[in-house]
Each structure stands twice: as C-alpha cells, then as structure tokens.
Structure 1
Amino acid sequence: MELRVERGRLTAYDTGDVAISLQPGPDLKPGDVFTISVTSNHDGQLVLLDVDAKGMATQIFPNTLAKKITSLTAGQPLTLPDPYYGFDFEAEGEGENMLVALVVEDDVDLTPVVPKEQGLSHKIDAREALSDIVARLRKVWTGDAENRGTAWYAGTLKYRID
C-alpha cells in the first residue's frame, strides 16, 4: 500500500487484503449513529485511523475503551464500537473523510507510535502519524530464518458527512 499526502489530502492505494465497511453506509448526516467493521485476509494487529478533510486523524483503534485489544483473525470482522464501549459513534462535521486500516501480521511493537491511550482522545496529524507507522513497518523483519520485509496490509474507505 502506498500512502501520500497530495495538496493536503491523504491519498491511499490499497491491496484489497483489508476491507472496511461503514454501517449504515458511506453517506452520513451529522448526528447519524454508525459502526465500523474491519475484515482482513490475514491475522494481525489492527491500527484504525479516521482522517478528516483537514488531514487530522483520530485513532479509532487501539484505544482504552476497547476491553479486548486482540489481534484480528483472518476472515473474522471486528466491529467498532463493540457493546463494551458504552456509547455509539456519531457523525460530526462535514466533508469527505477516510478510514485507514493497517493490519500488521508480524509482531512489530507499534505502541510508541499508536499508544492505546491516544485512541479517541485527540486529533493527530495524519501525515506524521502514518509516516511514523510506515517507517516502523518498512524496517527489515529479522524474526524469521531469513531477513525480509515486515508483513502488513492496508485498506481504506472514503465516506462523506453532509
């Protein structure tokens, strides 16, 4: 997957290995309640960011409200918020947003760049956050008999709030 910021907007090209869906759909009105589901073709740890039209991101997952921070299982959707959150996601603002899901198959420690304490609590610069994450993922994986690139996959979903 390639992620770039062009003219202040995040552009992403994904491989189809990670699917994101938004219920009730990608066209929302302010105040609409929605859920996000992520399904991967690969097992791995999930990082989910919501990037607004201004290039600011909210870390949706991992977060402190998720009672279980577990790896994704291939083919099994993870829906957020789950019943343990105690609240719903509600659409706010206007414009085109993008959900970016990264699934990391190898055991890479991403907590320095995506600590669960940061999730849902404040806006971060999407460009900086994704650059930090991708820099960690581009390092050579030495956990196998042969050195190789880290196994990670990505998916995106654009949605609108009008």
Structure 2
Amino acid sequence: MIDQHTTDEKYNFEMLQQHTALQGQRLIVPQNLHLMAVSENVLMENLEIFDFLIDEDAQVMERVKLVSLPTSKNWMFGPGDIEELIFMLSDSPGVICRPSHVRQMFASRACRKSVMIGTALSTSEIKKLVVHMGEIEQPWNCPHGRPTMRHLANLNFISQD
C-alpha cells in the first residue's frame, strides 16, 4: 500500500532540492565570520555556495567576510548555517551539502504542496504518484521520516511457485 501524501511529499522534496535557487540579501556592511584557518580554507575552496569577500592579506580568522545572506522567500540563513555547511564540506568534499535549516525549508514546502491524506485521487493521479516514485533516488520515506509504503503481507510466507 502506498501513502499518497508521503510519496508526493518525497517527490516534491527532491524536485525542490534540485530546482530551487537561493537568493542573496546583500548586507550593508560585510560581516566578519571569525573562522578558524581550516574553515576559512574550506570556504575559500567552495566560494560558489555563498557570497563572501576574501581578503588574502588579512590575518587568519579575519580573511572571510559574509557579503550577503542567502534567502528563499521568507526563509533566511545565517552564520550558523555557514558553520554547519563548512563542517559538511570538510567531512564530504565534492558532495552537494544541505545544512539542516535548508533541508527543513524544503521539507516544509514539499509537505504543504503535496496531496493531502484522504484526498480522493483519479486513476491518472495515482499512476503519476507511482511513476514519480520510480524517478527519485530514495523513495522509501518522506523527509520527515514517515514511510511511503506499507507491506500488507509478510513476503517470507508467500510461496515461490
């Protein structure tokens, strides 16, 4: 049995992650981040993610300044998200990283935009949900952890005839 809400939510979550671009809210005065040397280097190697001003001649912990805060509609991200992102980038270089605040934003938007539980669906809408499940990488649970499918039979008891 497929949960129509969690299935649609997972698909919407994956699509939002792939297609949503964060905008930058320019700061009047660039903000010092006071990062350790290792963190500064990680950021300097991944400048395309946020808008930073780099002063190569400044002292360590003073070289990186935040020029704009990433935003998306009514969600704003700040230095705490940058610290989490730096940790994720240093832990998994070359992997697309999403800080928990960004993931939470996508999960919230996906949930609100998905088919609600109990909504009657046409055959074509049901087929669309099942096809979408086959198009995403991890269709097993929604971003909040609820399963998208429930097995009504124990597969160990079904014969192989």
Shorter-chain TM-score bucket reads under 0.3
Which of 1 and 2 has higher RCO (CA within 8 Å, sep 6+)? 2
Which one has the bigger strand percentage? Answer: 1
Which one has the bigger helix percentage? Answer: 2
Q: Which has more radius of gyration?
A: 2
Give the TM-score, by structure 2 length: 0.25
